[in-house]
A and B are shown apart, each in its own frame.
Chain A
Amino acid sequence: MALTVPVRLGTAENTLIEQLNSVGAAAEAERITVAGLPTRRVESYHYTDLKMLLKAIPPLAQAANEASAPALRIAGAYQLMIANGVVQAASTAPAGVIVGKTAGGVLSTRDDVLVHLNGALAKESLTLTLENSVDPVIQIDRRIEGEAAHAADSVKIFVADGASAVILETFSGSDAAHVGNHGTYMALGKNAVVTHVTVDLSSRSAAHFASNEYHLADGAKLRTLVIHAGAGLSRTQVFPRYEGAGAHGDITGLNLVSDGQHADITMDALHAVPGTTSQPLFKSIARGRGKSVVQGKLVVARDAQKTDAKFMHQGLMLSDEAEILSKPELEIYADDVVCGHGSTCGKLDEDSMFYLESRGIPTAEAETMLVRGFLEELVDPIEDEALAEALHGIIDGWLLAGK
């Protein structure tokens, strides 16, 4: 047996070990005992050192007694709710939507601490089967209520061949120092068309973690949009797997960070078969001493010829102290592919500001216009008008808050 230097465990790690043991997840507890939470030395957590950032873990969540107001209301949406990890009773589902629940978590095993924790701690999962195209937006309202709690929840979605749907997930809750760990597994059937928007609107004192795993069959088209606009610390991991010819993903995301916030979107995509395409596009806006991290990894399997994928990140710095970090990674085993990455980062363009102001538009309003313009590429493709409007509302709210 190899000798390893034991890591020094902190308060957060000790609590996690206790919690994992209390739910019988001895293997996961052992993993943390041996390795601790990932530090900057772990490649995929290089910019989001959980050991440093997670000072304490609140007690495991108890059932919620009260619910705060919905973080976002979309007119006409079909609403589902998970509160403190417990799937709530749902109203009658639209035609072709089957709602259920299943024990345990849903994410595929992978070497990632957040995925392990979700698997060990999620007691039950909401399951959604979409047998045909669904008109209303499906909103899954995931929240953590009451005293500060560590809550894990999970959702599994099957989209039948040829079906289409718009699914919105919102994350919110009471104003306490929660740690949320959310998992979503989605399988898209052949030629399914899905828009999946996930918006973190939890309180500034909370930590928000989400892992979204997607499996795309032949011809499936997926558009995702992650928006971080709430928690003090947030990380959403996006794991798309293009498993059928012609599958396409527009994987997008936006970190809106203010002073003291740290937001991280980490994509790890696998183009597994020939003839799949993706256009990952992420944007960061940071002000104060806010920190935004965007990582994008494209893995192209040996026989996944004709893969066409480009990772793009664009950052907008609204202050000198803000930090925007981006890391692309290409791991390409096929030889006949078009893959790339690009990244830009800058301030609001002075010439553009002057042009708008020279037409009588005051400075603050001109800034808002330019920021909205910068983000239009992300919101514009969302075809549901009520949803697009709600997303504009979140962005405007962030801009207006000014800090």
Chain B
Amino acid sequence: MTTPILEIRNLHARIEDREILKGVNLIIPPGEVHAVMGRNGSGKSTLSYVLAGKEDYEITDGEVLLDGENLLDMEPHERAAAGLFLAFQYPIEIPGVATMTFLKAAINSQRKARGEGELSTPDFMRAVKTAGTELNIDTDMLKRPLNVGFSGGEKKRAEVLQMALLQPKMCILDETDSGLDIDALQVVSKGVNALRNGNRSMLVITHYQRLLNHIVPDVVHVFSDGRIVESGDKDLALQLEAKGYADFDGAAA
């Protein structure tokens, strides 16, 4: 059997005294797109932050492997270099740091960590231009400080641009559809779909079915109270939309 890109076993995590993740189990084989759906407050963003290595959380049990490597032992920047990418639900605004400068630093840091040489400026510019065109991002936007004053749509497009440039193995998209109108949703989904291939896996977090019409998942998981309570194919998302989450809450008990 091929090594899964992401394997989460019995993951428990708490913030301060409150347990938020209560035994998450999830296996994503190479090339598959899995959706996690759950109501607000069920712990979806917590899962994404714990995977990316945010330090506010205490992991009390469980294990996470990224392409067979122990993810929880790594620093956030090491996880990124190992191929994990989190598209934030709320991308952070960073005044005074030009988006272009940031992109170059991110790409070259990851290359360096993997023992590859730095990208030359012309190669970098070419890569940015190509990826940007797909997402309607022009160089003027990239000269602006990172995410500062970006509209909701611009922020999400910028996240997908980073994903396209960093070429991760494992993409986690946290509510990438939130704050997007239908046109922006199409641009962003198209960008994400363009990155789907046989080796790259994705975990698409959302609480609306809408996004999954555009990014069609291989597997849908229902998330409730800190764990996965039901899994199925893409029709499960439609079922959820029709019946609401209430029917699935019992399964968590």
Smallest CB separation, A377 vs chain B (Å): 7
Taken together as a complex, chains A and B put the C-alpha atoms of A365 and B91 apart, in Å, by: 19
Q: Is the interface of A mostly helix, strand, loop or mixed?
A: helix
For residue B105, CB closer than 8 A to chain A, the reply is: yes
The answer to whether A355 and B94 have CB atoms under 8 Å apart is: yes
In the bound complex, how far is the Cα of B75 from the Cα of A141, in angstroms? 46
Judged by a CB distance under 8 angstroms, whether A402 is at the interface is: no
User: Which residues of the other chain, A, contact B109 by a CB distance below 8 angstroms?
Assistant: 359-362, 365
A379 nearest in chain B by CB position: B96
Residue-wise, chain A 328-359 has the 8 Å CB interface mask toward B (1 for contact) of 00000000000000000000011110111111
B110 at the A interface (CB under 8 A): yes
Verify B113–A360 contact, CB threshold 8 A.
Answer: yes
> In the assembled complex, which residues on chain A have CB atoms less than 8 Å from the CB atom of B79?
358
Q: In the complex the two chains form, is A369's CB within 8 Å of B102's CB?
A: yes
Q: Does B245 sit within 8 A of A, measured CB to CB?
A: no
- The verdict on A370 contacting chain B, using a C-beta distance below 8 Å, is yes
Judge whether A372 is part of the interface by a CB distance below 8 angstroms.
yes
Contact A357 B77 (CB under 8 A): yes
Could you tell me the dominant secondary structure of chain B's interface residues? helix
Interface presence of B53 (CB below 8 A): yes
Considering only residues 82-115 of chain B, those with a C-beta below 8 Å from chain A are 86, 88, 91-92, 94-97, 101-102, 105-107, 109-110, 113
Smallest beta-carbon distance B119→chain A, Å? 13
Interface residues of A in 363-401 (CB under 8 A from B): 363, 365-366, 369-370, 372-377
| B54 lies within 8 A of chain A by Cβ | yes
B193 → chain A, closest Cβ, in Å?
Answer: 22
Q: Given B54, B101, B105, B106, which contacts A354 in the complex, CB threshold below 8 Å? A: B54
**CB contact between B102 and one of A354, A356, A375 (< 8 Å): that residue:** A356
Pairwise interchain contact A372-B96, C-beta atoms closer than 8 A? yes
Picked from A349, A356, A359, A375, the residue with its CB within 8 Å of the CB of B96 is A375
Is B52 among interface residues, defined by CB-CB distance under 8 A? Answer: yes
> Considering residues B79, B86, B96, B113, which has the most beta carbons from chain A within 10 angstroms of its beta carbon?
B96
* Contact between A374 and B52, CB atoms less than 8 A apart: no
Please, could you name 26 A-B residue pairs with CB atoms under 8 Å apart, sorted by A?
A351-B92, A352-B92, A354-B52, A355-B91, A355-B92, A357-B53, A357-B77, A358-B52, A358-B53, A358-B54, A359-B110, A360-B77, A360-B107, A360-B110, A360-B113, A362-B75, A362-B77, A362-B113, A363-B77, A365-B109, A369-B94, A372-B96, A373-B94, A374-B95, A376-B96, A376-B97
Q: Interface residue tally of chain A, by bracket? A: 20 to 34
Q: For the complex, is B162 an interface residue (Cβ under 8 Å from A)?
A: yes
Q: Are A357 and B75 in contact (CB under 8 A)?
A: yes
Known pairs A358-B53, A372-B96, A373-B95; A365 contacts B105 (CB<8 A)? yes
The distance in angstroms between the C-alpha atoms of A369 and B100, with both chains bound, is 13
- For the complex, is B145 an interface residue (Cβ under 8 Å from A)? yes
Contact A373 B96 (CB under 8 A): yes
A-B pairs with beta carbons under 8 A, tally: 83
Q: How far is the CA of A372 from the CA of B166 in the complex (A)?
A: 23
Give the Cβ gap from A7 to chain B, nearest Cβ, in Å: 46
Known: A354-B54, A354-B55, A355-B88. A360 touches B106 (CB 8 A): yes
Does B76 belong to the interface (CB within 8 Å)?
Answer: yes
Residue of A nearest to B79 (CB): A358
Interchain CB contact under 8 A, A358 and B96? no
8 smallest CB-CB distances across A and B, nearest first, come from A373-B96, A376-B96, A360-B80, A360-B110, A359-B106, A355-B92, A357-B76, A373-B97
B220 CB-CB contact with A under 8 Å: no
- Which B positions have Cβ atoms within 8 angstroms of A? 52-55, 75-77, 79-81, 86, 88, 91-92, 94-97, 101-102, 105-107, 109-110, 113, 145, 162, 166
- New contact pairs (11) apart from A358-B53, A362-B75, CB-CB < 8 Å: A354-B76, A358-B79, A358-B80, A359-B109, A359-B110, A360-B77, A361-B109, A362-B113, A363-B75, A365-B105, A366-B77
User: With A and B bound together, what is the CA distance between A361 and B77 in angstroms?
Assistant: 6
A372 CB to nearest chain B CB (Å):
7
By beta carbon, the residue of chain A nearest B88 is A355
For B110, list chain A residues within 8 Å (CB).
359-360
Q: A354-B55, A355-B88, A376-B96 are in contact. Are A369 and B76 (CB under 8 A)?
A: no
- A350–B88 Cα distance when bound, in Å, is 15
The answer to whether B80 and A359 have CB atoms under 8 Å apart is: yes
Contact B94 A359 (CB under 8 A): no
What chain B residues lie within 8 Å of A361 (beta carbons)?
Answer: 77, 105-106, 109
Which residues from A are CB-within-8-Å of B145? Answer: 373
CB atoms of A360 and B166 under 8 A apart: yes
Residue among A360, A362, A365, A373 having the largest count of chain B Cβ atoms under 10 Å: A360
Contacts of B97 in A (CB 8 A): 369-370, 372-373, 376
Select which of B86, B101, B113 is within 8 A of A358 by beta carbon. Answer: B86
Contacts of B166 in A (CB 8 A): 359-360
- The residues of B that contact A355 with a CB separation of less than 8 Å are 88, 91-92, 94
